[in-house]
Each structure stands twice: as structure tokens, then as C-alpha cells.
Amino acid sequence: MTNTVVVSSAIRGRARLRVRALRQQRPLALRLRDRLSADDRVRQVQASEITGSVLVFFDATRLGLDELLQRVAREAAAYRPHSAAGAAEGVSSELPPAADAIAWHTQAAADVMRSLNDTPEVGLSAEEAERRLLTSGPNRLPAPQPKSAFEIIREQIGSLPVLLLGGAAVASIATGGLVDGAAILAVIAINAAIGYATESRVERILASLNEVGVSMAFVRRDGRERLVPRAELAPGDVMLLRPGHDVPADGRLIEVRALQTDESALTGESVPVLKSLKAVAARDAGVADRTNMVYAGTVVADGAGEAIVTATGKRTELGRIRTLVSEAKAPRTPLERQLDDTGRQLAYASFGLCGGLFVLGVLRGLPAFGVFRTAASLAVAAVPEGLPTVATTTMALGMRRMLERRTLVRRLAAVESLGSTTVICVDKTGTVTENRMTVGRWHVAGRDYAQDMLAGGVIDLALARALAIAVLCNEAALTVGADGTTEVSGSATEGALLVAARAGGVDAAVLRKSHPLVTMLPRAEGRNWMGSLHAANGHRLVAVKGAPEEVLRGSVRWLTADGEVDLDRASR
């Protein structure tokens, strides 16, 4: 029997394949999704270890069905289940035991390399990376488990007012009021249906977000720089860190070139952290103090560097946080507590009054069953059937409005808490901004220019020279989409300069092509400026930008409204 076959391919660019080895093998399903999605000819991949099928949407003009089938068959044939891999190949993990518990920040870079990868200039081989990946598992953060339909419905009917309605319905039916009981049960069903439809929609959106795209990472393997799916990173891999790139896993730095990372996701500090290779003595040092480490979930703000992966997936600092968050139980919202309090007060009042009525009727010699039916009817009437439905419907409308504003609210009852929030107190401002910088004004040759004045193009030669320096002495990149939107990769400061230069009519790509970069001296500790050397029509051009006092210290002339003049001490 063939291991991989085509089940359906009637629609062009869509194929469903049956893979025998996929059944009950979740790692293989993840492997197929990651490996196939890395191909730009593949649009979407869905692999199910339950049915053993793989659904692939692809560009049929560039990728043939036969080639796709062979690719899936090769991936499935190369996969070895965890339990069989070690026995078949005699492979045992070459990593130190409990690798995630080692305080890598206390060790020298040379010791870390001896433990995980003694040839960082070459990196891991593809075979070694595959073996380590079988031991460490995919480099994925633990995904939160979506709420089941039963959990959603249970939350909708588990509140005290709804339980009171259920009790009232039972009492009404028991005393012969079938119509009233059926009406109350219908109200409960409508309430549960509204809540389920609203929350299940959000759960589907959250689940789809986890399937969007395949994150990639720059690593060095087999002596070459390669772009691999982030999920395939293994301890010992050499990560290549560049401005604007996300850090794909936790790692110990082995090389830094003015490297700065934005660690606000972990520490809350909005200012980028300058990294170094020096070992940190304190074993219990906080994440913010481990300046020789980089962590998954952070972003390279400036500079460059290399790091050896020390932890992946749930063993990373971000993975530990997500695990703790998933184990925490969310407190009840103020609205839930108020509804329960209201339901409790109604229960006490109705049971007290109806119980007193029943006792009083029996003492007066009335038929006990008739008195009981009267008391039960009053109890049913005392419970407001519309309260849960009105509350649920109102919150569902609020969740819908939040969704229209591109905000997902997972719990229906949390909408009320968000709606009643009037003041948010934070200890910093940097962590609640858009993390986007813009140029406001230019001061060039003794004149001030507002940035919006550049809309019609560069105003004079002095400003044009300033914009050219801002573009050339710059490591960021600017991408302009077909719809005119701009996307910046690199530090926020350098990206703002590129955007400002573009507004002044300077095409960064054209300018950099006419002035090719020869070498660049980045910022470093103790040097708050950077410089770049460019070739320009047979000449050399040096562009410098940085802290004013340091740039002025190295300058001998400056540009004024009257032209270039000597920069004397008073002017400086």
C-alpha cells in the first residue's frame, strides 16, 4: 500500500493527500505544516493527525501536483517517531541534562560554546539539528486551549439568576404550569444560545490567529546562513540577530556589534537594552540584568550579534510566562458578582415570603397542595425571567462593537468591565505607545523646518544634504506597498529618518545605489555616534550622525545661512 496518495485534486490549486504515517503523530503534522508553508508557492497547509490527511492550497502555475506529492512523501519518510528514533539510531541527547535549568548567563561565552556548539562559525549540521529537535521538541510556545462548547454553555447557565430560573421552571412544571415552565426554559435556551454564538465566534478567531503564517529565523547551519522555520530551532543553533528582527528563542550571546534589544514584552522597560558578552555573576539575576542573553519575544532594536540557542518553546522565559498565565484562574467580573448577589437576594426574599405564605395557609386549614401551588406560582413570578437575557444580549452587542474596533474579548462578561473603565494607571508611558517615532522638526544651517513643510519636496540644498546623510548613515530599510503604506524594518529612530526623507522627495533606494556602502562603524558603548563610508563617483563620502556633542567634537567646519565657516569654540 502506498504511504502517500492523492485523495482529491478536482479544484485547481487545492489538493487533499492521505499520509499513512501521519495518524496519531502530532509532531509530523506540525512538521508538514512548517516545512510546506516555508515554500512561497504554498498558500496554506492543514494537517490532521486524527484523519491522517493533509489539505494544501498552492499556486498551481508554479507547483505541480506530482512535485507536491513527492515533497510530502519525502517529509513523511524522513520523519521518525520520538520513541523509535533513539532506539533505531542509538541517539541520545548530547545536551546537558535539564538544559533549561542551567544559568547560562553566569557562564563565559567559551564555556557555553563547549557545552552546546563548539563550532559556531559553522553551526549545527542539518542532521544534528534534526536529532536535537526530536529531544527538545518544536520551538513553539504552549498554545492556550480553546474553550469547549460544553464550557461555554456551562458558563452561560451556571450563574445564580439562571439557576433560579431553572428551579422556577421545574417548580412550575411540577405544579401543572406547563406553559409557564416551557416559556422559562425557552428564555434559558435563548440566553445560552446568544452567549454561545458570541463566545464561540471569538474562539474561532483566536484559533485562526494561531494558524496564520510560519515565522522564520536566520541561523547558521552547515557553514551557511539559512532562513528556517522558527519551530525547527534546536538548542545549540546559532541565531543571527539583525535590526528589526524578532528573537526566535532564548540564547547566550557569543558576538555583539552595538547590539540593543527591546525587552519591554518581558520586563516592561521601554528603553532598548545594550548587550555585552560579559558573564553575569549572580545566578538569580533578573531578566533585565542578564545583559549577555537574548530572549524569545523580544526585538532587535539596533546593532547586530550572534547567539547560541539555550532554550526553546515552553522552556523559554516567554514560554514559562505563558504556562503560568494558562494555569491562572480568571477572577469573576464585577457584573458576574453583582448578578449573583442580585440572584441571592431574590432567592432569599422569594423563598422567605413564599415559605411564610405556605406555612400560614396550612395553619389556617387550607389544602396543602393548593397552598403549595400558589406559593410556587408566586416564587416563579418573583424571578425576573428577562434579567439574564437582557444582560447577555447587551454584553453580546458590546462584544460585537469591540470586534468592529479590532478588539477581541474572550469572555462575554468582561465587556462590562472594559466598558466601565474610566482611568488606566500605568507606571511608564513607553510601554503603552505605538512604538513609532516621527520627525517633528529639522534645524539645518540656522533655519527651522517643520516636517510637514517637506510635503512639496526638499526646500534647499542644506536640508537636502541633511536628508541624504540621514538615509546613508542608516541601517534601517523602508518598504513601500502597492497601496502606498510604508513598513520599516530596523530601529524606530532610523526608520523615522527614512520616512521623513521620503516625505522630502528623497528615494532611499536610489540614493544608496548611487552611493554604495563600503563600510560602517556602528554605535558602541562609549561611542554615541555612527559613521558610514560610501563610494561616490570615484570619491569617498563619510556620513556621520549621533549625539550632538560628540559629532561637534569631531567637526572643524559647519554650514550656516552664509555658507560653510570654521567651527570655533564659541560656535561649538
Residue 124: exposed, middle, or buried by beta-carbon count in 10 A (0-12, 13-18, 19+)?
buried
Q: Are 299 and 246 in contact (CB under 8 A)?
A: yes
529 phi, psi to nearest 5 deg: -150, 160
- Catalytic one among 40, 66, 284, 427? 427
- Three-state secondary structure call for residue 133: helix
Reading the block at residue 98, the C-alpha cell is: 535539564
Element (H, E) at 360: helix 334-363
Residues with Cβ within 8 Å of residue 87, at least 6 apart in sequence: none
The answer to whether 222 is a known catalytic residue is no
What is the spatial distance between Cα 398 and Cα 195, in angstroms, rounded to a whole number? 12
Angle (CA) 80-81-87 rounded to 5° is: 80
Q: Are 100 and 315 in contact (CB under 8 A)?
A: yes
Q: Are 409 and 402 in contact (CB under 8 A)?
A: yes
Residues 392-430: b if buried by 16+ CB within 10 A, e if exposed:
bbebbebbeebeeeeeebebbbbbbeeeeeeeeeeeeee
| Closest by Cα among 382, 380, 385 to 189 | 385
What is the spatial distance between Cα 165 and Cα 170, in angstroms, rounded to a whole number? 9
CA quadruple 519, 477, 527, 272: dihedral sign: negative
Q: Are 116 and 235 in contact (CB under 8 A)?
A: yes
Residues with Cβ within 8 Å of residue 526, at least 6 apart in sequence: none
Q: Cell 540593543, residue?
A: 260
What is the spatial distance between Cα 177 and Cα 62, in angstroms, rounded to a whole number? 69
Please give the positions annotated as active site.
427
